[in-house]
Structure 1
Amino acid sequence: MLTVSLHGIKIYAKRGMYAQEQKIENRFEIDVDIMVPAIDTNEIPFVDYSIIRKVVAEMFEKPYDIIEHYIRDIHAGLKQQFPGSEKIKIGIRKMNPPMPGQVGYAQIVFEG
C-alpha cells in the first residue's frame, strides 16, 4: 500500500456555531492521507496533490456550522476523485477556537 499525504492545508473561513465565528474568519488546517494499493514498485499509482487541495477548498465554500459536515463532504469528494483508494484519513483542526482560556485547536479525524 502507498500513502500519499497532503498536510497543513490552510483555509480561512467564517464558519462555526457561534455568532462571533460567523463574523470573523477562523483558520482551519486540514491533513489528508490517501492510501492506494501498490502492487509493486513498477506500478505505483499517481495521486495528484493539487486535486486534494482543490477538493478541500471547494468543500469549505459550503456554509456549514460544524466541521463534521466538512469532513464528510471532503471524504466523499476525494473518494469520487480517487475511486481506487483503499482508505482516506482526514483531520480538520480549528485553530484557536473561541472558548475561555488558551486552546491551540479543536480537531476531528475521520478514517474510512
Structure 2
Amino acid sequence: MLTIALEQIRMRAFHGFYPEEQVIGNDFIVDVSVTFPETSPVDGLSDTVNYQDLFTVVKTVMDVPRPLLEQVVEAISNAVREKYPRIKRTQVSLRKMNPPMGADIRNSLVSLEREY
C-alpha cells in the first residue's frame, strides 16, 4: 500500500455553529492522508494520487461554510474518494484554531478515518 498525505494545510474559513463564526471566520489546519494499492513502478501521475488535486479538493470543500466540523471532514473524505475510487483508506483531521470558548485553547480537533 502507498500513502500520500498533505499535512498542516493552513486556511481561513467560515465553519462554525454560531452565526458570528460564519461572519468572522477562523483559521483552520487540515491534514489529509490517502492509502491505495501500490502500482509498481510508479511512472507517472496516473499511477498515484496527485497531491495538487488533493489540495484542490480540500480547498473546494473548505470554501463552503458548514456548521459542524464533522460535516467538513466527511465532505473532504467523500470528495477525495469520489475523485480517486481506488483509494482504500482516507484520514482527514481538521483543527479550528482559537475556538470561541471563552478560554485559552489552542485548537479543537475533529478527525475521520475511513476504510473502503
Runs of 4+ aligned residues of structure 1 deviating over 4 Å after TM superposition are: none
In terms of mean alpha carbon deviation, does 76-85 or 44-53 score higher? 44-53
Structure 2, gaps ≥5 residues long: none
| Structure 1 equivalent of residue 8 of structure 2 | 8
Q: For residue 37 of structure 2, what is the aligned residue in structure 1?
A: 37
After the TM superposition, which residues 16-95 of structure 1 pair with which residues of structure 2 at under 5 Å, given as runs? 16-38=16-38, 40=40, 42-43=41-42, 45-95=47-97
Moved more, 60-69 or 84-93: 60-69
Q: Residues of 1 paired with 2:38 and 2:103: CA distance?
A: 46
- CA deviation after TM superposition for structure 1 residue 78, in Å: 0.2
Cα offset, 1:20, TM superposition: 2.5
- In 1: Cα distance, 2:104 partner to 2:65 partner: 26
- TM-score, L = length of structure 2: 0.87
Q: Identity of paired residues, percent?
A: 29
Q: TM-score, normalised by structure 1?
A: 0.90
Paired residue type of 2:87? S
For the Cα contact (< 8 Å) 2:42–2:48, is it kept in 1? no
Residues paired across the two proteins, number: 111
> 2: distance between equivalents of 1:47 and 1:22?
32
